Amino acid sequence: MHKYSALFSILFLMLAPMVAAKPLTIERIFASPSLSGPQLQNVKLAPQGERVTFLRGKAEDREQLDLWEYHLSSGNTRMLVDSRTLTNEQRELSETEKARRERQRIAGLRGIVDYQWSADGKALLFMLQGDLFHYRLDNGAATRLTNTEAFETDPKLSPDGTAVAFIREQNLVVLELDGGHETWLTRDGHGTVHNGEAEFVAQEEMGRSSGYWWSPDSLKIAYIQYDEAPVEISKRYDIQAQSVAVIEQRYPYSGKANVKLRLGVVKRRGGNSSWVNTGSAEAFYLPRVRWLPDSQKLSYQWQPRDQQRLELRIVDVASMQQQTVLTETSETWVNLHDDLRFLPQHRFLWSSERDGYRHLYLYENNGRQLAQLTSGDWAIDELQAVDETTGMVFFTANKDRVIEQQLYGINYRDRLAKVQRISSREGWHDISMNESAKVYVDTFSSRQQPPQVSLHDASGKRLTWLLENRLDQQHPYAIYLDQHQPTEFGVLKTTERVELHYRMIKPVNFDATQQYPVFIYVYGGPHAQVVQDNWSGRLLIEQYMAQQGFVVFSLDNRGSARRGKAFEEALYRNMGTVEVQDQLRGVEFLQSLPYVADDKIGIFGWSYGGYMTLMSVLQAPDAYALGVAVAPVTDWHLYDTHYTERYMQTPQQNPAGYQRANVLNHTANLPADGQLPLLIMHGMADDNVLFTNTTMLFKDLQDKGKLYHSLTYPGARHGISGSAAQTHVYRSIARFFEQMK
């Protein structure tokens, strides 16, 4: 037994006699307070390091977030801003803000959902009800900066802390904090033209939620202007409970036109923009933009539409002369990252998968490679910070265990330096390091421990707890501990000897002489890893299913993340093939276990997981007893350009692959008599995986005389967010699985 599993079991035994046990329910999982304990979101270190701020839900409503701080010297925790006291208005979010929050996966949250520190550590900026507020620590007062009918979005303090930039009515605006004067840096944003905003695919697929960047000297702003006129209008029916709105959404379907982009630089006080020459190609992406420390040069990353090349270009903003300093190429696709850091002495750090795994490299600004800093059959996750005084580079990776994330460091100035592990506990460490890399906040969890937040120095030594979140008698989960089942991790091999990681939870009161039905949760798509040693958001649902008598199982097939480029590339041009085969290998393993009822294996997934559910049960109907698909893609012609074409190329380039990957071309395999129950669920206002994917599937199944079950959610987008909706979704799924017993 894993040592932490053993410790957790001992803890159960110690607590069990002290608290009255209760059965876990889905209603309680989504109620307040959270069973995972207090949750600190968006944890940030103040620039001077004397305090840590975070967002925290109210005890009676965990989705309403307030701004809090922990003061290091005093050890005191206090609320800075109560989100319900600043304004009595209950304005509906603008469509732009709704879309931004959906892309950021925070659509179900209210109150203060994001904030920013000033560089001097004396003030914070946040948005509430569509207006901007500036909070000063010296007087504890929040000043309302805007009070308009318009909905301001994406606010950013200037590096010198004297101004705020934001987007209003598709234009870039700067507000001076001293006097409140506003300067509209652009005025041509209207209709299809947007200034300083991130286009749909940048937000959803590139991990870029903004479209403008302050220069370090606070005198200039670089911004992207996009024109979505080339993107065809798609009429999306936004079906609410009591109304239906026809939304004319410009959705960039795979193989169709994208937005037109250009990159400009404008002075803080206004004037004409200077435009960067991005080349003659009409179809390209601008996934990343970053200023160099001297504010005289601007870097941007450029990708052609096929994403098989990524160029790092540096522009002299005075002359607009530029140089391509680095080029990454691939026969499949080049993954994006946020690991660019400019250093003193005209150097920069960069990560690349050119040797098969993502590793760190050191370059001169002219593009000459100086060193490969890390190597091996493991991958870095993210460059966290650089201590420029010592040369230490800190990053997270899975070097020691594929299913974990740990913090590591290496000295980029020492050619003989070796990677040092900084974090110690086995599990998952989400790291937020201050800019000087002297201290960091560690949000740690494992399958046995809900998230704990602590402050550490750069050596890994814990300085203090910010949130210990102990599983003691006062913890909200204490009354359910006696039923909590340990998670087992393992590895399977395919016929090609490829290793696949899985996790399993056995039913409560497990008896090896009995046979149990199986609840499989699948995602299966790129850029995701399900089998992780952390307290994930779906863990309590899995515990509930185990307590209902199910073996709970998940497997990461080829195509998923953190296993190297070759492992991920296996699905290139062939979505819905190798992933399904690997999931079937998991079913074979389950069927080999004497305690599994091999004719009672069900599968459930959401988004790509919904697609995987459909492709699995339709390609191997004899292997599964039922399937539940939530918000599935059914035809990749209906999904967006950047994501779909990265893995499948365009429909024009890969027609056979699109045919194989189309769910509707496999529905004939579904038994017509309903002996393989299939439940399809979808939000009726989904602007990501359009509801059309599901209505086309409904029509196809009806035309072929195939029986199925469906649940649709009025007003819900892709995440079907909110406690009530989530409760209904998972109660319905659990009830559907009960028929296997």
CA dist 262 → 185, 211, 228, 326, 718 (Å):
16, 11, 12, 21, 30
Write the CB contacts of 89 (distance below 8 Å, at least 6 apart in sequence).
129
Contact between residue 217 and residue 159 where contact means Cβ atoms under 8 Å apart:
yes
The alpha carbons of the chain give a radius of gyration, in whole angstroms, of 26
CB atoms within 10 A of CB 387: 18
Distance CA 83, CA 80 (A): 10
Q: Which of 309, 438, 480, 319 is nearest to 49 (CA)?
A: 438
Contact between residue 118 and residue 125 where contact means Cβ atoms under 8 Å apart:
yes
Which member of 210, 686, 687, 721 is catalytic? 686
Which member of 359, 429, 718, 721 is catalytic? 718
CB atoms within 10 A of CB 293: 12
The angle subtended at Cα 231 by Cα 331 and Cα 103, nearest 5°, is 75
The angle subtended at Cα 316 by Cα 312 and Cα 321, nearest 5°, is 85
Token code pair at residue 595: 């305690």
Q: Which of 310, 219, 326, 223 is nearest to 275 (CA)?
A: 223
Token code pair at residue 265: 């630089």
User: Tell me, what amino acid is at 409?
Assistant: G
Please say if 607 is a catalytic residue: yes
Write the CB contacts of 157 (distance below 8 Å, at least 6 apart in sequence).
116, 117, 118, 119, 123, 125, 163, 164
Token code pair at residue 10: 């001992």
The owner of tokens 């899995």 is 542
For CA atoms 199, 203, 209, 215, give the dihedral sign.
negative
Token code pair at residue 377: 């059959």
CB environment 203-230: b (16+ within 10 A), e (fewer): bbbbebebbbbbbbebebbbbbbbbbee
Which member of 423, 607, 616, 721 is catalytic? 607
Please say if 536 is a catalytic residue: no
CA dist 94 → 114, 130, 419, 457, 712 (Å):
16, 8, 47, 41, 24
Contact between residue 182 and residue 168 where contact means Cβ atoms under 8 Å apart:
no
Please say if 700 is a catalytic residue: no
User: Tell me, what amino acid is at 721?
Assistant: S
Q: Which of 130, 249, 312, 389 is nearest to 690 (CA)?
A: 249
Q: Which of 545, 498, 501, 492 is nearest to 520 (CA)?
A: 545
CB atoms within 10 A of CB 578: 19
- Residues for the chain: how many in total? 741
Distance CA 339, CA 324 (A): 18
Write the CB contacts of 275 (distance below 8 Å, at least 6 apart in sequence).
262, 263, 264, 320
What DSSP state is assigned to residue 501? E
CB environment 248-287: b (16+ within 10 A), e (fewer): ebbbbbbbbbbbbbebbbbbbeeeebbebebeeeeebbbb
The owner of tokens 């001097």 is 120
Token code pair at residue 247: 């939304």
Peptide bond into 33 cis (omega under 30): yes
- Active-site amino acid positions: 607, 686, 718
